[in-house]
Amino acid sequence: MLRFIARRLLTATIVVFGVVTVIFVLARLIGDPVTLMIQPGMTADDVAALRAELGLDRPLLVQYLEFVGRALTGDFGISPWQYQPALGLVLERLPWTLLLTASALSFALIVALIVGSVSALYRGSLIDRGAMFLVLLGQSIPNFWLGLMLVLIFATQLRLLPAAGAGSWQHLILPTITLGLFSLARLTRLVRSELLNVISQDYIRTARAKGLRSSIIFGRHALRNVAIPVITVLAVDFGLLMGGAIVTETIFAWPGVGRLLIQAIGQRDFAVLQAGVFVIALLVVAANLIADLLYAWFDPRVRYG
């Protein structure tokens, strides 16, 4: 197990390093931040001094090597717009993004387990067909359009929930539904298909022949064997939701990392952009590592040598 974790950590280091390298290059393609910082009356010497202060007067390779050297110590530079360490700005917003992502995943998982299980137990019924129609609808609706419609209906028309901001559980409802609907639809289909496969297995029929209660058969045997693919999808969706949070946080003015990155792109704030992508990549890699470790806990047949 320890050797497996060591190998995964080595792989994770390479992946994160690759992501940071890519975002370093892509950030420079956004444009020159100095052009946004030029004030009326500045001379060419003033602009050159500003470029030197930001370290943009050096060759790109030198900038990259200096960036990697500082990043290894957790220093991603100072935001030229907010005059604060970039990593500190990201970590300050990170709890809000994690709260929204965890809420969306929990919402998707709980509803998917319920709806997927009912659909599998009543296969071919009106309930099953209705649930699958809603699942198809959920996978087809863009989250930005869904978010705007939820704001229009529940915040503007009915005035039941706040349209934007954070601070209470009411502010979390609409962003959670918007962000989690796609994962909900995918997990529901997965739970249904896996349960239909599991309940036709010989060990389920044996358990029924032994006289075990349906609740024990379903909860202890059927759902436990569905856990492996569900964990896999959850680990993948964690990364997708962290990325999708950028749009959702912008719609609902949620004070998370996604909204911060949108501002950084508009301001060409390389430091904040690189720090934000680094933190997100680190969390996604950690989520996949945790998923691999959970496999062995749910399925004793899984062993890591």
In which element (H, E) is residue 229 found?
A: helix 223-251
Residue 305 has pLDDT above 60, yes or no: no
Q: Residue 271: count other Cβ atoms within 10 Å of its Cβ.
A: 28
Comparison of pLDDT for 214 and 76, the residue scoring more = 76
Range of 59-68, 99-108, 120-129, 225-234 with top mean pLDDT: 99-108
Cα 134 to the center of its chain, rounded Å: 23
Q: Is 85 helix (H, G, I), strand (E, B) or coil?
A: strand
pLDDT at 5: 75
pLDDT at 304: 58
- Taking the C-alpha atoms of residue 151 and residue 143, their distance in angstroms, rounded to an integer, is 12
Work out the average pLDDT over 30-47. Answer: 77
Q: Is the dihedral of CA 232, 233, 234, 240 positive or negative?
A: positive
pLDDT at 236: 83
Work out the average pLDDT over 125-136. Answer: 86
- Taking the C-alpha atoms of residue 289 and residue 9, their distance in angstroms, rounded to an integer, is 8
| Average pLDDT in the chain | 83
Measured torsion, CA atoms of residues 220, 223, 226, 230, in degrees rounded to the nearest 10? -120
pLDDT at 1: 67
Burial 15-31 (b: 16+ CB within 10 A, else e): ebeebbeebbeebbeee
pLDDT per position as a tens digit, 47-103: 788 778 777 778 888 888 888 888 888 888 888 888 888 899 999 999 999 999 999
pLDDT at 204: 73
Angle of CA points 158, 159, 160, to nearest 5°: 90
As a residue count, the chain comes to 305
What domains can be seen in the chain, in order of their start residue? 1-305 (1.10.3720.10)
pTM, rounded to two decimals: 0.84
